[in-house]
Structure 1
Amino acid sequence: MNWVLVVFGAMVGAPLRYLTDRAVQTRQDSVFPWGTFTVNAAGSFVLGALAGAAVSSGPYALLGTGLCGALTTYSTFSYETLRLAERGWTFLAVANVGASLLVGLGSVFLGAELAASLVAS
């Protein structure tokens, strides 16, 4: 029955990704994909927090696989990076890759550490 939890999590995560992306991107006067960057960082933090809290399989299916899986987007990140490079914004394309990796890994680490410390106390 975990697949049902994944579906419900994704039903929340996908629209949340779209709405967050649009809200962030419309406030930026930049070709840099800030919306995708934001949802990927947020999703990484939440996934790290779930791992740090060592949640059981049910909540992980709902929030980790479903919500975070639909909230974050590797395909859009890849496409937007390709489009930046194709349009001649090589620095921004490279910056998007580097910053996304650093912020994503940092976010998952911070989420895991924060949740683990909260659970331990």
Structure 2
Amino acid sequence: MESTIKFSDPSAIKEELIKKYPPKVAKKRSKAIVLNDPETVPEVQANVRTVPGIITQRSCSYAGCKGVVLGPTRDIVNITHGPIGCSFYSWLTRRNQTKPESAEHENYMPYCFST
């Protein structure tokens, strides 16, 4: 049975959300969580670079690059540098995977090396 945690202060909820992140990531993520305060106008961060491994409204930058840019290639072996978890979860998840022109053509689509 799950226990319910009640917060009386919205900033306590924000602290609870970011405490699971490493300090550097938590600092960046805390700026993206906006509290409703009638006294101040919130500053929304809309044009900020995403951090690989962090899912945002625009999804993960690493998985997006791997799926959109590297996904359609079949005649090269992809060597990527990024979090290994991202590499694993973005491996062969593209809906429209590339196919070789014939059985004689190279198809390295199933392979990816990660540093």
Considering the TM-score relative to the shorter chain, is it more than 0.5? Answer: no
The structure with the greater share of residues assigned to helix is 1
The structure with the greater share of residues assigned to strand is 2
**TM-score for both structures, normalised by structure 1:** 0.30
Which structure is higher in RCO with an 8 Å CA cutoff and minimum separation 6?
A: 1
